[in-house]
Structure 1
């Protein structure tokens, strides 16, 4: 790995906490602007982005950082490592007062996510890969001082085996579409859990659901951290052809094809 996994987890937990604390200072009072693609953006997005990018450049100099709020989306990393950052995933949830927004940081190597961290500051929950097969969650409040790393108590997480009948699906709370609805019907889904932001991946990774299909538009920084955490917990993310989802798709503008995330590899 280009950067030591354990060291990344330690340093980026602190980075995510600082970004979450900054974001929470705007929660409930952020003014909203529209980006060129008409998606919403706030000062919290931009300031958290600046903080995370600066700290990543200090932690791992020489590794490029591609962020949703950056302007370097056309660089071609090839198989070289690079970071993917979404400083505030779930801006709509942030604006409406829901706590389902997250800070997302992922490290990509050889077109696959090797490290992932997701922090939901309003929910005081952090998910991180402590090692390639060592995903964990942590209660971490942005309103209290950051504890020393050695005192943190991580809880290991893992996906669950598929039930004998009737899968539980995670679905987007704000981006449901007809194709996804048809797919869920074809799969014989028993229950659905609506969710926002990258926390949908965490529900699979911690054994609360079995499948998350998404055929609407997403970007690489939306899902890379969640993909890394899910993979470490035993899950997979496949594209519409059944192949593992890859990253660094500059030819697509870092846009993802439709995908299905599974808690366990499908038979």
Structure 2
């Protein structure tokens, strides 16, 4: 088992959480194909039964795998704040709930390990796309095809491809923009760059597109929470990218004084 002070076993975490993601994805997809009933939380964001069932699966797996590491999960937190500690898991059991409700495929399960303010391990799973991305060692992330399965999955049995950001085309960048949060600040930022193409996406899929070498930059000036970004940042940075605030500093975590809210940031490829 992995505790607060013990070395973190990336390979074992990747294996355990790949199995967990397949099961959480199966729970989510049962609701995806039916009526998308939801309620509004105190911050007016939607939550569905898919969120809560996915969270129960992921949190149970993390408690068994690493009982000594605290878990900060979006739905369990529900507005409550507390100290996170130097090492903790960040979980968003269904990132992109709005996309899920609209029957789009770009919603994800996000799991990250934060160590001294930095996301060092990340898993992002898009069950509607059968797309898994996970760090299997420091500085090494892979992608694999992973269909949702209530019986879980074996990471070792999956065909894995190393994730690596691309070198930007001098003819122009491919920029990713949020489907739900395109704003004037984003437009102003993109106007300063040589942009050849824009692509819209929801949830942590935007981080994955850069990590997979399909895009170059993702600016985000609208509001995000730490659980929205941590896993995607961990995967992207392991693939050679970076996520910086508008001041040029790495995006950091455990910001309890800010209510775990992120500042504006830019995700970059190479």
TM beyond 0.5: yes
1:8 matched to which residue of 2? 13
Task: Describe the shift of the 1:23–1:217 C-alpha distance in structure 2 as closer, same or farther (beyond 3 A).
Answer: same
- Determine which of 74, 77, 82 is the counterpart of 1:75: 82
Alpha carbon RMSD of aligned pairs, Å? Answer: 1.4
Length-normalised TM-score, structure 1:
0.95
- Shift of residue 247, structure 1, vs aligned partner: 0.3
Alpha-carbon separation, structure 2, partners of 1:243 and 1:132: 20
Q: Secondary structure at the match of 2:39?
A: strand
**Equivalence for 1:53:** 59
Match in the other structure for 1:124: 130
Q: Deviations over 1:176-223 (max 9, x none)?
A: 001101110111222111001100000000101111000000000001
Offset, 1:3: 2.2
Other structure's SS at 2:200 match? strand
Q: Compute the displacement of 1:143 (Å).
A: 4.7
**Which blocks of at least 5 consecutive residues in structure 2 are unaligned?**
1-5
Of residues 28-37 and 136-145 in structure 1, the stretch that sits farther from structure 2 once superposed is 136-145
Distance apart, 1:147 and its partner CA: 4.3
Residues matched between the structures, number: 263
Task: Tell me which residue corresponds to 1:111.
Answer: 117
Q: Structure 2 length normalisation: TM-score?
A: 0.94
CA contact (8 A) 2:23 2:151 kept: no
Can you list the C-alpha shifts for 1:70-99, whole angstroms capped at 9, x where unaligned? 128522234x21000000001011111111
Partner residue in 1 for 2:224: 218
Q: Distance in 2 between matches of 1:63 and 1:142?
A: 27
Measured in 2, the distance between the counterparts of 1:103 and 1:149 equals 16
Deviations 1:92-146 (A, max 9, x none): 1111111111100000001000100011111111110111121111101115854
Question: How many angstroms apart in 2 are the aligned matches of 1:246 and 1:143?
Answer: 33
Q: Displaced runs of 4+ in structure 1, greater than 6 A?
A: none
1:161 is the counterpart of 2:161: no
Equivalent residue number for residue 38 of structure 1: 44
CA deviations over 1:217-267 (Å, ceiling 9, x no partner): 000000100000000000110011111110000010000000001102xxx
Query: Counterpart in 1 of 2:97?
Result: 91
Name structure 1 gaps, 5 residues minimum.
Answer: none
